[in-house]
Structure 1
Amino acid sequence: MAQQQTSPDEVVLGQEAGGARVITLNRPRQLNGISDRVVYLLAQFLEKWEEDENAKLVVFKGAGRAFSAGGDLKMFYEGKSDDSCLEVVYRMYWLCYHIHTYKKTTVALVNGLVMGGGAAMVAPLKFAVVTEKTIFATPEASVGLHTDCSFSYIHSRLPGYLGEYLALTGARLNAREMISAGLATHFVSSEKLEELEKRLLNLDTGDESAVRAVIEEFSTDVQPDEDSVLNKLSTINKCFSVETVEDIIKAFESEARIDGNQWIAPVLKGLRRSSPTALKITLRSIREGRKQSLPECLKKEFRLTMNILRSVVNGDVYEGIRALSIDKDNAPKWNPASLEEVKNEDIDRVFQSFSPEQELQVPSDDSNR
């Protein structure tokens, strides 16, 4: 019989059923946004179960219509006058490292929105099951942040320059596209998801082949639709492989004038709405990520996040959150307002290393974790 490990009102629910363990993100009204309490409980459960010899399989899911829409932006906004977010940011990056290097078999059941930090919990797992309701995005640049929580590592390893495209434009992928891109492993109809979960909970093993066999009983082979962005990679690679954000936009604008490329105009519109500073930080981070290990990416991203939250260069992140989540006018006033006004030395300052004791302390080799 399944045993609940937390109060049913808690923001993360932990359940034990035989050799299976279930984590449920439980803030449905907030689209399971990741708060400091969520990070704390996730880390607690994962650490406990990794050491538990009886725990063989860990299943992640979200309550309501989202898996997780990512970080709780209001939490950052409320902490803008001090360093109160330092601890939760540090814990979140450690959690990302822990999920990437977790020693038990993991499955995500993703039936709805999965964005930003929420997507960072899904992409590294051994099995990520998505449905016709799943929507993926990494839109951080649109709120003045950068593509964080290990995504400079994840995006830089997607096919071609798809990672740069997703990070800079905030474009959404559906389940079929996630699988094609390598961001998910299996497609299961949402009406079968509950039965799949029951089967997994009754599977008293973490053997990957056994888990895969159960999932494949419910899964369907899918391909992206004909008009999917995954079928436009030649154009994306041509435009998003160039050196600067300005060059990317120029190349994309040129492609938009070609017959059959009507899909580009709305994507360009979204790109132009984002913080110019955040776009430049994001592009550089992903480009560096192509040559960096996971720990190196996480350490770099931790610096970027803290420097952005500390307004080392500007307060774009708070202006973006204000426009999206506080006043909800969707009219952020970026500073500076154009890419041409962003100074290279300011971007360098955001990437500047901390003193050794202030850096994110994650092992360079997961065998030492």
Structure 2
Amino acid sequence: MEVVVGEEVGNVRLITLNRPRQLNVISSQLVSSLANYLEQWENDHNANLILIKGAGRAFSAGGDLKMFYDGRNSKDACLQVVYRMYWLCYHIHTYKKPQIALVNGIAMGGGASLMVPLKFSVVTEKTVFATPEASIGFHTDCGFSYILSRLPGHLGEYFALTGARLNGKELVAAGLATHFVPSDKLPELEQRLVSLNTAEESVVKSVIEEFSMDADVDEGSILSKKALIDECFSKESVEEIIESFSGEASKEANEWISPVLKGLKRSSPTGLKITLKSIREGRKQTLAECLKKEFRLTINILRTIPSADVYEGIRALTIDKDNEPKWNPSTLGEVDNEKLDLIFQQFEDNLELNIPETVDNRWEGKFENSIYASL
């Protein structure tokens, strides 16, 4: 079975992520195939519009955690897929033709990086978004240290540290998606888009708007708590954030805080600290700088340089499913900040993620041409 199905219909190109039983998680094969289609179609004068969707009940649930876990005892077993994915993230953000994501289900972590940067991202009442990586000892990656750090106030820190879930309307309200369309209208919208014979963004937009609804969020939405989130999540350290957030929990109408706090306190201390530092750095970094930094962090985390928490987190969540991770170190105070600084340091030039600098070399810098391929 093809993990990515590419179709050419007139001047429209369709991509379907096609691992429905695995919730379209990102594997090495999926990344390679997706990159090949996108490169081919960006250079195809007959291709006007790119549509991307997921088969089954997920758009994409993010990276294949089992793949990472299975590679834990082989040095850099997942380096190739990581390199390819972050390299591809740059191209998705900077793509030269209009792309539309039709997201009718789960879009988490790296899976959401195939949705958020697109010119048009259409979500429904079935869409669920989250970036929960910190909770398992990882960090917010696939360009999200760039994306989340640019949200209003300190929502980026909140979403990255807590892994909070957003629904379709909240995604539009937060600026992480462009349109909300009821799921029963999605097939008709897709047909209309496929029948379009134009790359005119204004035409595409007006067609989507025919089907879309206002994305008003209710008072219970996390987005209505922004003032409190800004107050707590602007603090300098994870310890201070948790202390400030705890102080608000006892106040009237703040009962929503307790389960969020519980989740924060169960998360990997190392994962939380790396994530906060990465988001804060992301505010001052370009997209390319963020992706290069995320590449370093991921490789160092998978090499267990700060700790082996990522494998323990995956074990507890998806392998043994006991949800009882044993973090090492087990408290925020025990995390060695000097060790954390170490994993943010640049690699030697030839070992960095090679992102193309100009239009002329737009699709260069591939894994095959990197030093890693020959190591």
Aligned: 1:104 with 2:97: yes
Give the equivalent residue in structure 1 for 2:369: none
Give the 5 Å matches for 1:254-333: 254-333=247-326
1:57 matched residue in structure 2: 49
Cα deviation digits, residues 229-253 of structure 1 (max 9, x gap): 1010000000000100000000000
Q: Give, in whole Å, the separation in 2 of the partners of 1:366 and 1:316.
A: 40
**Aligned-pair distance for 1:314?**
1.1
Amino acid at match of 1:110: V
How much does 1:305 deviate?
0.4
- Structure 1 gaps of 5+ residues are 1-8
Corresponding position of 2:67 = 75
Shift, 1:366, TM fit: 6.0
Number of the residue aligned with 2:367: none
User: Which of 147, 160, 163 lines up with 2:156 in the alignment?
Assistant: 163
Query: Residues 131 and 190 of structure 1 are in contact (CA less than 8 Å); yes or no, is this contact kept in structure 2?
Result: yes
Q: CA deviation at 1:225?
A: 1.2
1:3 aligned residue: none
How far, CA to CA, are the matches of 1:279 and 1:141 in structure 2?
5
Q: Which runs of 5+ in 2 are unaligned?
A: 363-375
1:295, 1:364 within 8 Å by CA — same for their partners in 2?
Answer: no
Residues 288, 365 of structure 1: CA spacing in aligned structure 2 closer, same or farther, 3 A cutoff? Answer: farther
Separation (CA, whole Å) in 1 of partners of 2:359 and 2:165: 32
When the two chains are superposed, the root-mean-square deviation of aligned CA atoms in Å is: 1.0
> CA offset at residue 363 of structure 1?
3.1
CA contact (8 A) 2:170 2:215 kept: no
Say yes or no: does 1:46 pair with 2:20.
no
Shift of 1:265: 0.6
Q: What is the identity, as a one-letter code, of the residue corresponding to 1:87?
A: Q
Listed one character per residue, the Cα deviations across residues 275-327 of structure 1 (whole Å, up to 9, x for unaligned) are 10010000000000000000000000000000000111211110011111111
- Amino acid aligned to 1:348: D
Alignment of 1:69-218 (within 5 A): 69-81=61-73, 82-218=75-211
Between the aligned partners of 1:347 and 1:196, the Cα distance in structure 2 is 47
Q: For 1:143 and 1:115, how far apart are their aligned partners in 2? A: 14
Question: CA 1:367 to 1:165, structure 2 compared with 1: closer, same or farther past 3 Å?
Answer: farther
Is 2:21 the partner of 1:29?
yes
Please give the alpha-carbon distance, in whole angstroms, between the structure 2 residues aligned to 1:361 and 1:105. Answer: 24
Distance across 1 between alignment mates of 2:14 and 2:57: 18
Code of the residue aligned with 2:32 in structure 1: it is Y
CA distance, structure 2, for counterparts of residue 96 and residue 366 of structure 1 = 16
Q: Secondary structure at the match of 1:156?
A: helix
Partner of 1:350: 343
Whole-angstrom CA distance in 2 between matches of 1:173 and 1:214: 25
Q: 1:63 corresponds to which letter in structure 2?
A: A
SS of aligned partner of 1:330: coil
1:51 maps to a residue whose letter is N
Query: Which secondary structure state, in structure 2, belongs to the residue aligned with residue 34 of structure 1?
Result: coil
SS at 2:150's partner residue? coil
Once the two structures are superposed, what CA deviation does each residue of 1:144-171 show, in whole Å capped at 9, x if it has no partner? Answer: 1100000000000011100100000001
Which residue of structure 1 lines up, in the alignment, with residue 366 of structure 2? none
Give the Å deviation of 1:344.
Answer: 0.8
* Aligned match of 2:10: 18
What does residue 365 of structure 2 align with? Answer: none
Alignment of 1:219-258 (within 5 A): 219-258=212-251
Report the AA paired with residue 264 of structure 2: L
Residues of 2 paired with 1:89 and 1:139: CA distance?
18
Q: Which amino acid aligns with 1:132?
A: E
Look up the equivalent residue of 1:160 and give its one-letter code. Answer: G
Distance 1:99 1:339, change over 3 A: same
- State the one-letter code of the partner of 1:167: A
Counterpart CA distance in 2 for 1:147 and 1:104 is 27
* Residue 365 (structure 1) shift: 5.5
> Residues 33 and 296 from structure 1, CA distance in 2 versus in 1: closer, same or farther, beyond 3 angstroms?
same
How big is the shift at 1:126? Answer: 0.3
Which has the larger displacement, 348-357 or 304-313? 348-357
* Contact map agreement 1:295 1:363 (CA 8 A) in 2: no
Tell me if the contact between 1:200 and 1:211 (Cα under 8 Å) persists in the aligned partners.
Answer: yes
TM-score, normalised by the number of residues in structure 1? 0.96
SS in 1 for 2:196: coil
What is the number of residues matched between the two proteins?
Answer: 361
**1:367 CA displacement:** 7.2
* 1:292 to 1:366, Cα distance in 2 relative to 1, 3 A: farther
Determine what percentage of the aligned residue pairs are the same residue: 67
Which runs of at least 4 in structure 1 moved beyond 2 Å after TM superposition?
Answer: 363-369
